[in-house]
């Protein structure tokens, strides 16, 4: 393929035989065409693995489909949506998923910003510490969930051992056996695993904040807290908006952490909509109902994200400029 960059036009030189032969077969391509060719693999992959499944899920949401009986697949209109919207477990899962998402995001944001502020200093060995901080984020969720099941084990878990050894509690805490504690445990796991993501994003932004702003604030007599409120937070605003949107979408859709840690239990107390969809699709073999749940989740997140971005004023500055 020949890439015509436009350079060297004033001094034409004869092309080697192989290149002229190539030109015969491949016409000269514009920059746009070359660019499109470069992103084509991603577009094709995206269409196949992202767009097609979404379209298929939307289509399936209107069908009754049991994979063991494909011959009796039939169009059911809105029946799958009516089923989930009249199912109390769907609404329980929605509420529990909302609580799990909001609390996880709240703690991740607070801790993430705090840790990023601490790490935004030049101390010996800080680079190593920043690297270690990524550990929970890079370890596979399956491994983490299994380890945490041991950590939370009421009889032999290290958490109870530490609490009893330090006499903070007298009897073992049953972390995953009561609805409230199980919800708290799943939130704790999510916060532990994903806070590093917030730290990295916030830290990157903090390091690009001009020092002059802080110096000017100091000259004006602003203390540390005032500088945080008036200089740091406004600078972090855009990145926090993006982080919160992404973390909300990812957490609301999260399946594996809850399923591996509690399977949605005890009872259905830690069901979220992703677990509900899985149970409907796989345990009950109602793939249409599972797909309808996925479609509803997609619409909820789309509306939530648009409203949040509008309210937070994301991108307003650029638009104004």
Shortest gap between Cβ of 150 and other proteins (angstroms)?
13
Largest CA distance in the chain: 88
Shortest gap between Cβ of 153 and other proteins (angstroms)?
9
Shortest gap between Cβ of 159 and other proteins (angstroms)?
14
Q: Which is nearer to other proteins, 155 or 212 (CB)?
A: 155
Cα–Cα distance measured from residue 52 to residue 67, given in angstroms and rounded to the nearest whole number: 19
Q: Which is nearer to other proteins, 269 or 305 (CB)?
A: 269
Q: What are the angstrom distances between the C-alpha of 9 and each of 14, 87, 128?
A: 12, 70, 51
Cα–Cα distance measured from residue 135 to residue 197, given in angstroms and rounded to the nearest whole number: 11
Please give the residue ranges that form the binding site for other proteins (CB under 8 A): 67-69, 154-155, 172, 174, 176-179, 262-269, 279, 282-285
Shortest gap between Cβ of 266 and other proteins (angstroms)?
5
Q: Which is nearer to other proteins, 153 or 235 (CB)?
A: 153
State both tokens at 244. Answer: 């919160």
Shortest gap between Cβ of 73 and other proteins (angstroms)?
12
Residue 173 and residue 154 in contact, taking contact as beta carbons nearer than 8 Å = yes
Q: Which is nearer to other proteins, 170 or 212 (CB)?
A: 170
Residue 57 and residue 296 in contact, taking contact as beta carbons nearer than 8 Å = no
Q: Which is nearer to other proteins, 92 or 230 (CB)?
A: 92
What are the residues facing 34 on neighbouring strands?
none
189: closest CA among 151, 226, 246, 156?
A: 151
Residue 58 and residue 291 in contact, taking contact as beta carbons nearer than 8 Å = yes
Q: Which is nearer to other proteins, 142 or 229 (CB)?
A: 142
Residue 48 and residue 268 in contact, taking contact as beta carbons nearer than 8 Å = no
CA angle 86, 87, 90 (to 5 degrees): 120
Shortest gap between Cβ of 285 and other proteins (angstroms)?
6
Residue 296 and residue 91 in contact, taking contact as beta carbons nearer than 8 Å = no
């Amino acid at each position: 393929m020949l890439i015509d960059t436009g350079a060297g036009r004033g001094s034409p030189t004869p092309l080697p035989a192989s290149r002229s032969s190539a030109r015969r077969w491949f016409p000269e391509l514009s920059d746009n065409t070359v660019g499109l060719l470069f992103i084509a693999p991603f577009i094709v992959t995206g269409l196949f693995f992202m767009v097609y499944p979404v379209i298929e899920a939307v289509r399936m949401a209107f069908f009754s489909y049991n994979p063991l009986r494909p011959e009796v697949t039939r169009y059911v209109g809105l029946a799958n949506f009516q089923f989930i919207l009249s199912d109390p477990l769907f609404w329980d899962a929605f509420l529990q998923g909302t609580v799990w998402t909001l609390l996880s995001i709240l703690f991740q944001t607070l801790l993430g910003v705090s840790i990023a502020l601490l790490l935004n200093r030049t101390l010996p060995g800080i680079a190593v510490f920043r690297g270690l901080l990524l550990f929970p984020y890079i370890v596979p969720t399956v491994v983490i969930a299994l380890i945490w099941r041991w950590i939370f084990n009421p009889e032999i878990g290290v958490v109870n051992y530490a609490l009893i050894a330090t006499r903070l509690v007298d009897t073992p805490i049953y972390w995953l056996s009561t609805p409230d504690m199980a919800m708290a445990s799943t939130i704790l796991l999510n916060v532990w695993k994903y806070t590093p993501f917030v730290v990295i994003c916030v830290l990157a932004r903090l390091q690009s904040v001009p020092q002059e702003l802080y110096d000017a604030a100091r000259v004006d007599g602003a203390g540390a807290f005032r500088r945080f409120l008036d200089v740091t937070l406004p600078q972090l605003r855009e990145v926090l908006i993006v982080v919160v949107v992404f973390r909300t979408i990812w957490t609301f859709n999260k399946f594996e952490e809850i399923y591996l840690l509690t399977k949605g239990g005890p009872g259905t107390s830690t069901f979220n909509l992703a677990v509900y969809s899985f149970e409907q699709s796989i345990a009950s073999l109602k793939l249409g109902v599972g797909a309808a749940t996925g479609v509803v989740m997609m619409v909820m997140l789309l509306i939530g994200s648009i409203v949040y971005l509008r309210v937070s004023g994301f991108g307003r500055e650029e638009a104004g400029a």
